[in-house]
């Protein structure tokens, strides 16, 4: 069976978990990869816990069921961790990336998690600073690309620019802000996995 | 050929844009809403020449489709579940009037209880209305099937409406890699529509939808019977031609590692992809297992199914719907019937699964294949029909 990377995104309705999954898939597609990006199926409610998923592979992806054991989990909102088991199904070798100002050690303690590699990045602060709004999904993408090494950051920046240009043709400052946010998160993500 | 990231719904809307139908009449319903929403944006942006008719119900949508098609227009629509059921009164009229309307249909459970997730109950419930039905495994097939269905429906020998389905959310909302065809090539493939009849053609006046009692009603149903028979060859020709032009060939059914298989799984739609993964895994362990994917459900490819299963010892028939007849699902009943006269036929067991979006995971496929192996080894079926995955 082809090697498939599986990713789960946790966020709240409106934070852009689904968009993050779509942007990541789109960037991977530009690299010639096979992709899947899908939201947790069901009614969407602003503020409620939501999930989105990715599968990435060099070979065609045939499987069409949910993802229960992702290698990578990205958390867009740290307050979710009080009510959602964000590390569910994550193997000891897995990677957990959290949007928070806290350190990986602090998150490990909070979750009482023994296995997995934990990384943190203050994606909300970066988004406030660079985009002017707390939209942590694009900076978190930058952090994810850094810690997973899935692909080159310049590829992600280029692809996001192309994608956002279509959506925000009349607001170039949003595009610039997003690209800067991705780059900053890429540079400032904390954790080596074995804190 | 551009490679794009598209959901099943986006892929179907893209095919509709390239087809550029004269009229689209539709009413939104989850999980098919996006198809007509995206298409209405194409209309608003001037990317198509389509007259978009926003109606107040699916009954009106299909009625408007019938009217427009009778006037000689190329017509498309999209719906799901309760929306498809609300169209029910008009669906057999579209086929009886031989109107080649093409519908993008997203498979979803029927109320009640209310449920927006995938099963095949909605599409199976309208299987006897003279509509062609093609199931898609993924977004790529959804795109390819919509283009092909236009050709099949409009074929002079066929002239029947057709629905192309995807599995709700599983495919409709899953973004995947889709190889699309250039606009010009897609338009050329589908071709310009030359209607055989139009109620607006005053030089050749026709009557459509008249009262037709004991005298001729029966005779007037026979062309549907004959067109469905002929459709099998036309679907094969269109699928072969599509393969020659674009590299992806399609048939009535698709077999996967079935040639030397001792046991088989038979399924429709997205489950086939998940099944392929387990078939590869079991093959690596030396288990001779294969997949028979039923792509076309109407017309029912009985001959192809009998031929594909003739050397199989035991098969699991997967039904994502129930007929509530105490006889298993629709796929099971039709396959069992098709095999009645066959000299060589496998033991069959029916798995009604996944109702209301209940997940079918790799482990489930593994377990059903193990059951099927046990049936083959025992030379008899342990349980004929089971509702798989239901909690006690």
Total number of domains in chain A: 1
- Say if CB B10 and CB B18 are below 8 A apart: no
A137, B33, B58, B343 from B142: Cα distances, Å: 30, 16, 22, 35
B316 burial level (CB within 10 Å; 0-12, 13-18, 19+)? buried
* A169 Cβ contact list (under 8 Å, min separation 6): none
pLDDT of B262-292, one tens digit each?
999 999 999 999 999 999 999 999 999 999 9
Largest CA distance in chain A: 47
* Partners of residue B280 in chain A, C-beta under 8 Å: 1
* Four-way CATH pick for B253-387: 3.40.50.720, 3.40.50.920, 2.60.40.10, 3.40.50.11890: 3.40.50.920
Residues of chain B in Cβ contact (below 8 Å) with chain A: 3-5, 116-117, 138, 167, 169-171, 173-177, 270-271, 273-274, 276-277, 280-281, 357, 359-362
Domain boundaries defined on chain B:
3-246, 253-387
Best mutation target, B168, B172, B174, B268, to test chain A (most A CBs within 10 A): B174
Q: Any idea which fold B3-246 has?
A: Rossmann fold (3.40.50)
Q: Note the pLDDT of residue A163.
A: 83
Residue B322: pLDDT above 60?
yes
What three-state secondary structure class fits A36?
strand
pLDDT of B136-162, one tens digit each?
999 999 999 999 999 999 999 999 999
CA atoms of A84 and A86, how far apart (whole Å)? 6
Q: What is B323-345 written as a DSSP string?
A: -SSSS--HHHHHHHHHHTT-SS-
- Average of per-residue pLDDT across B316-336: 98
Asked if the C-beta of A34 comes within 8 angstroms of chain B's C-beta atoms, the answer is yes
* B225 Cβ contact list (under 8 Å, min separation 6): none
CA atoms of B158 and B229, how far apart (whole Å)? 9
Q: Note the pLDDT of residue B203.
A: 96
Residue A49: pLDDT above 50?
yes
* Partners of residue B274 in chain A, C-beta under 8 Å: 62-65
Q: What is B100-148 written as a DSSP string?
A: --EEEEEE-PPSSS---S--SHHHHHTTTSS-EEEE-SSHHHHHHHHHH
Residue (of B341, B374, B266) closest to B383 by Cα position: B374
Lowest-pLDDT range of A189-193, B283-287, B296-300: A189-193
- pLDDT: is A193 or A165 the higher one? A165
CA atoms of A111 and A133, how far apart (whole Å)? 28
Lowest-pLDDT range of A128-142, B26-40, B78-92: A128-142
Hey, are the CB atoms on B175 and A43 less than 8 Å from each other?
Answer: no
Hey, are the CB atoms on A1 and B277 less than 8 Å from each other?
Answer: yes
Q: Note the pLDDT of residue A164.
A: 85
Q: Note the pLDDT of residue B43.
A: 98
pLDDT of A13-23, one tens digit each?
888 899 999 99
Following CA atoms B151, B155, B159, B164 in sequence, which dihedral angle do they give, to the nearest 10 degrees? -20
Residue (of B89, B110, B113, B93) closest to B101 by Cα position: B93
- Average of per-residue pLDDT across B326-344: 97
ipTM of model: 0.92
CA atoms of A181 and B66, how far apart (whole Å)? 52
Residue A46: pLDDT above 90?
no
- pLDDT: is A134 or B146 the higher one? B146
Q: Which residue of B has its CA nearest to A25?
A: B5
- Average of per-residue pLDDT across A94-117: 95
CA atoms of A187 and A121, how far apart (whole Å)? 10
Largest CA distance in chain B: 69
Hey, are the CB atoms on A22 and B177 less than 8 Å from each other?
Answer: no
* Partners of residue B177 in chain A, C-beta under 8 Å: 29, 34-35, 60
Q: Note the pLDDT of residue A57.
A: 96
Q: Provide the percentage of residues in chain A whose pLDDT is more than 70.
A: 95
The tokens describing B322, both together, are 């129930």
Hey, are the CB atoms on A63 and B175 less than 8 Å from each other?
Answer: no
Please state the φ and ψ torsions of residue B232, each to the nearest 5 degrees: -60, -45
Residue B125: pLDDT above 80?
yes
What is the extent of the structural domain holding A27?
5-193
Q: Note the pLDDT of residue A42.
A: 65
- Average of per-residue pLDDT across A119-143: 94
* Partners of residue B171 in chain A, C-beta under 8 Å: 64
Hey, are the CB atoms on B270 and A34 less than 8 Å from each other?
Answer: no
Residue B15: pLDDT above 80?
yes
Looking at residue A62, which CATH number applies to its domain?
3.40.920.10
CA atoms of A179 and B126, how far apart (whole Å)? 50
Residue A1: pLDDT above 50?
no
Q: Note the pLDDT of residue A56.
A: 97
> With bands split at pLDDT 50, 70 and 90, how would you rate the model's confidence at A43?
low
Residue A146: pLDDT above 50?
yes
> With bands split at pLDDT 50, 70 and 90, how would you rate the model's confidence at B21?
very high
Please state the φ and ψ torsions of residue B244, each to the nearest 5 degrees: -65, -40
* Partners of residue A42 in chain B, C-beta under 8 Å: 116
CA atoms of B234 and B230, how far apart (whole Å)? 7
Order of all β-strands in the sheet with B314-319: B253-256, B289-294, B263-267, B314-319, B347-352, B385-387
């Amino acid at each position: 069976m082809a090697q498939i990377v599986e990713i789960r995104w946790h966020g709240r309705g409106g934070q852009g978990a689904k968009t993050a999954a779509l942007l990541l898939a789109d960037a991977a597609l530009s690299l010639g990869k096979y992709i899947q990006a899908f939201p947790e199926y069901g009614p969407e409610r602003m503020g409620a816990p939501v999930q989105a998923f990715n599968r990435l592979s060099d070979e065609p992806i045939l499987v069409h069921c949910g993802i229960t054991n992702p290698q990578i989990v990205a958390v867009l909102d740290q307050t979710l961790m009080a009510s959602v088991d964000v590390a569910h199904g994550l193997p000891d070798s897995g990677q957990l990336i959290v949007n928070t100002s806290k350190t990986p050690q602090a998150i490990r303690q909070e979750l009482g998690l023994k296995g997995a590699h934990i990384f943190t990045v203050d994606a909300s602060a970066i988004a406030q600073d660079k985009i002017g709004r707390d939209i942590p999904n694009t900076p978190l993408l930058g952090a994810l690309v850094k810690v997973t090494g899935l692909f080159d950051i310049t590829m992600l920046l280029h692809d996001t620019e192309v994608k956002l240009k279509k959506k925000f043709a009349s607001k170039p400052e949003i595009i610039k802000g997003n690209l800067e946010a991705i780059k900053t998160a890429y540079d400032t993500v904390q954790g080596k996995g074995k804190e | 050929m551009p490679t794009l990231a598209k959901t099943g719904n986006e892929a179907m809307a893209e095919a509709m844009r390239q087809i550029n139908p004269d009229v689209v009449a539709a009413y939104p319903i989850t999980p098919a809403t996006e198809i007509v929403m995206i298409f209405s944006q194409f209309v608003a942006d001037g990317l198509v020449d389509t007259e978009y008719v926003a109606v107040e119900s699916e009954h009106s949508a299909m009625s408007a489709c019938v009217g427009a098609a009778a006037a000689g227009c190329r017509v498309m629509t999209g719906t799901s579940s309760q929306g498809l059921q609300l169209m029910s009164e008009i669906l057999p009229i579209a086929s009886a009037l031989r109107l080649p309307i093409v519908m993008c249909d997203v498979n979803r459970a029927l109320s009640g209880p209310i449920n927006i997730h995938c099963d095949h109950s909605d599409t199976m419930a309208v299987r006897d209305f003279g509509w062609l039905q093609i199931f898609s495994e993924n977004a790529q097939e959804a795109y390819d099937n919509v283009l092909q269905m236009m050709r099949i429906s409009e074929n002079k020998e066929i002239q029947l409406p057709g629905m192309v389905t995807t599995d709700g959310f599983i495919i409709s909302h899953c973004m995947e890699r889709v190889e699309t065809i250039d606009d010009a090539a897609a338009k050329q493939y589908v071709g310009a529509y030359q209607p055989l009849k139009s109620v607006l053609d005053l030089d050749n006046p026709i009557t459509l939808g008249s009262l037709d009692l004991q005298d001729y009603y029966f005779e007037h149903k026979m062309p549907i019977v004959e067109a469905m028979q002929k459709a099998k060859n036309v679907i094969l020709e269109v699928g072969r031609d599509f393969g020659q032009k674009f590299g992806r060939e399609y048939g009535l059914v698709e077999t996967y590692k079935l040639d030397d298989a001792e046991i088989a799984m038979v399924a429709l739609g997205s489950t086939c992809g998940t099944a392929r993964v387990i078939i590869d895994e079991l093959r690596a362990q030396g288990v001779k297992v294969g997949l028979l994917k039923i792509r076309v459900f109407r017309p029912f490819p009985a001959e192809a199914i009998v031929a594909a299963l003739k050397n199989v010892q035991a098969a699991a028939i997967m039904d994502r719907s129930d007929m509530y007849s105490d006889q298993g699902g629709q796929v099971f009943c039709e396959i069992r019937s098709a095999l009645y006269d066959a000299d060589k036929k496998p033991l069959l067991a029916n798995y009604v699964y996944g109702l209301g979006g209940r997940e079918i995971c790799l482990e489930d496929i593994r377990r059903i294949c193990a059951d099927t192996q046990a049936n083959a080894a025992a030379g008899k079926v342990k349980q004929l029909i089971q509702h798989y995955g239901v909690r006690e």
